[in-house]
Amino acid sequence: MSHGFLPNEFQNSDKIDERIGLDLTLSAMGMAFCSHRLMPLIVDNDDNNWSRRFFEEETRDNKRPKRTINGGNSDGGMSRNGSNGSLSSLSSLQFRDHILTYSKRYLAAEAVEEAAAAAAAMAAGYEENGVEEDETAYGMRLVQLLIACAEAVACRDKSHASTLLSELRANALVFGSSFQRVASCFVQGLADRLASVQPPGTAVGRVQLPPVMNIMDIISDSDKKQEAFRLVYEICPHIKFGHFIANLAILEAFEGESLVHVVDLGMTLGLPQGHQWRHLIQSLAVTRGGAGKPHCTRLRITAVGLCIDRFEVIGKDLKTYAKSMGINLEFNIVESNLENLKPENIKVSDDEVLVVNSILQLHCVVKESRGALNSVLQMIHELSPKLLVLVEQDSSHNGPFFLGRFMEALHYYSAIFDSLDAMLPKYDTRRAKMEQFYFAEEIKNIVSCEGADRVERHERVDQWRRRMSRAGFQATPLRLMSQAKQWLGNNKVCEGYTVVEDKGCLVLGWNAKPIVAVSCWKC
């Protein structure tokens, strides 16, 4: 930021000379009498949505001082012996008179502007119960506090971090602006990490949990969290987009085959009713031409994971649905996490076509040593599937340094919370449930956990290309852009979501910020 916290009125000395006849410079005026407004800062040309969350002062906007968050710079003092001698040549009375005149003009102009803005808001149908808080003004201070707190936590400075957390808790509101809400989730993560901080020289991290498949295994004991996950599936397009593109790729692999087999790693996160496979069954049941015969005579689905009770319910429901569609479905369950899964656990027939399906799963075995993921990929390679479908969050939350992960996660989840703002009213309880009982769990895992506890290790699609290539897989380009765009339109997905092709992968994003990527691989 080029001018620190200088007020807008004093960032152009020529303009001030013209209006009040004073030869004043920026250095002479300092931080007097009125505050600044803030506007988005684009910090990365490739990620324009970052501008919605990180902020810098606006140098041309004339607004009266806004209420600032506790801890902001409120110093109204000014040096009378600046580098420019013109200020010292004025008497204090003359100077105050000039400032009073300028302030009256400033407030009068703002009154007209705010009246026009209020009228425009009413015409657009917005109902306001008072003056809406300036989100950008709060945002800049929240960003500064969050980064400062993360630095203090990283340095294990409990005293300073605790002070910053207290201030953050007072201003990062669960029902505030989108950035205040996302900040509240990061505050929870920072508080958890600070609670686990040990003196320098000891490891950071909580007591290790048993091996898990994904974040849902950790939070599955709460009905509220299960309800939040259901809402995420129904309202956000991320998982449904992955299911749709994955099914199109699977159907292509199954074309002309009568015996087909899908190994589902994690059973699509244990979603009720097995949504992805109901749609696949429906598509497979479509008759081929006028022959009246289905695409396949037998579909086998193998669910891999730890939520056995949930899988049994899903399997029973899918069998009933498949029978009604004329499909012979065989449903198997393998109780295992990915790291312990062996090729012999999967029953594979020589006469069937095999596809492996991974929806938001493989990032959970990306460890610091890489051995766990390599082992899983080697196991999949030994199964010799015709296709491996990979759907993953497209962000870098697994870097070697905590602060880097923190900033990447703040960028990523700010975009998601921004999209929720566009899809749901401000005080919608569904949004609060999704944010606090689903996305907040991911954020806390990224921010507060280390070692085996940290399962949310999202990586960018380029990194996945390198990992898959080293494991012996070859990319299979997805040529489904037209279908993906048609899906966005047919499902009335909120304006702002886009689909782009990235070297054969399809990436769903919010205002150019990547959210989830789909890629396909063959042995």
- CA nearest to 456, candidates 474, 468, 443: 443
487: three-class secondary structure by DSSP: helix
Name, in order, each residue with C-beta under 8 angstroms of 496's C-beta and a sequence gap of 6 or more.
419, 422, 510, 511
Mapping DSSP to helix (H, G, I), strand (E, B) and coil, where does residue 457 land?
A: coil
Q: Which residue has the tokens 């000379």?
A: 17
How high is the pLDDT of residue 269? 73
- Beta strand pairing status for 474-475 and 513-522? antiparallel
Cβ–Cβ under 8 Å, residues 396 and 313: no
Interacting residues of 80 by C-beta distance below 8 A, sequence separation 6+: 87, 88
Residue with tokens 């593109």: 245
Instruction: Tell me the CA distances in angstroms from 84 to 5, 13, 16, 25, 80, one per residue in order.
Output: 20, 11, 14, 7, 10
- According to DSSP, residue 284 is labeled H
Question: Which whole-number Å values give the CA distances from 405 to 79, 113, 139, 443, in the listed order?
Answer: 42, 41, 20, 10
pTM of the model: 0.72
Determine the pLDDT at residue 367: 79
Q: Greatest CA separation found in the chain?
A: 99
Please, are residues 32 and 10 in contact by the beta-carbon 8 Å criterion? yes
Please tell me the distance from the alpha carbon of residue 434 to that of residue 387, in angstroms, as a whole number. 33
Instruction: Quote the CA–CA distance of 109 and 42 in Å, as a whole number.
Output: 29
Question: Quick one: DSSP state of residue 192?
Answer: H
pLDDT in tens, the chain (523 residues): 444 333 333 344 333 333 333 333 333 333 332 333 333 333 333 333 333 333 333 333 334 344 444 444 333 333 334 444 443 443 444 544 544 554 455 455 555 455 555 444 444 444 444 344 565 666 788 899 999 999 999 999 999 999 999 999 998 888 888 899 999 999 999 999 999 886 555 544 443 444 455 544 544 457 888 899 999 999 999 999 999 999 999 999 999 899 999 999 988 676 777 899 999 999 998 754 444 455 677 999 999 998 888 899 999 999 999 999 999 999 999 999 999 999 999 999 989 999 999 999 999 999 766 678 999 999 999 999 999 999 999 999 998 899 999 999 999 999 999 999 999 987 899 999 999 999 999 999 999 999 889 999 999 999 999 999 999 999 999 999 999 999 999 988 889 999 999 999 999 999 989 999 999 999 9
| Predicted local distance difference test score (pLDDT) of residue 485 | 94
Query: Would you say how long the chain is, in residues?
Result: 523
What pLDDT, on the 0 to 100 scale, is given for residue 62?
Answer: 37
Spatial CB neighbours of 81, under 8 Å, sequence gap ≥ 6: 87, 88
